[in-house]
Amino acid sequence: MQEQDIYLESDPPPSEPAPRPRRHESEGIWALAGRVTWVGGLVLALSSFMDWYEGSGVGVKLAVIGWHTGVLGKLVFVIGLAVVAIELLRQVGFNLPTSAPESLVIIALGVLAAVFVLVRVISIPAAMLPANSVGVGLWVSLIAALAVIVGGLMRAAEEL
């Protein structure tokens, strides 16, 4: 009778390399990816209700919120809500299909929001006059869009 090695089911055979430990999303820097993403999305959505333009006329000071700047202000709000919704659905356990990774969708939404905000930084609509300068809310929107992009990139590193 030959002696055979006895292995427990949980132990890998010695000829195979030990499996790499998986990162847990609730640990260390990987937990930061989710927080950066949802906070960036929330601030992006709320920034549509901050002053994007300010100016003064004859005896009047004017501030225009992002919501009133046209379609782009409303789209920034919707993109922010979409990012928050993706994060909430992910926490519940619903994942996007593998053909559209969450990190790629988040990065695309962040880039789209950043482009919309940059259009508003460069071009003040004529209907907003005498608002002739950029308000703090537009810069908050740009920073939030960049935070969404960074959160998506961190999530992409997490998925590797």
Full-model pTM: 0.77
- CA 143 to each of CA 16, 34, 61, 149: distance values in angstroms, whole numbers, following the listed order: 47, 17, 26, 10
Domain count, the chain: 1
Q: Which residues constitute the domain of residue 132?
A: 28-54+64-159
Residue 107 in any domain: the answer is yes
Residue 68 in any domain: the answer is yes
Residue 6 in any domain: the answer is no
| Whether pLDDT at 28 is above 70 | no
User: Who wins on pLDDT, 16 or 51?
Assistant: 51
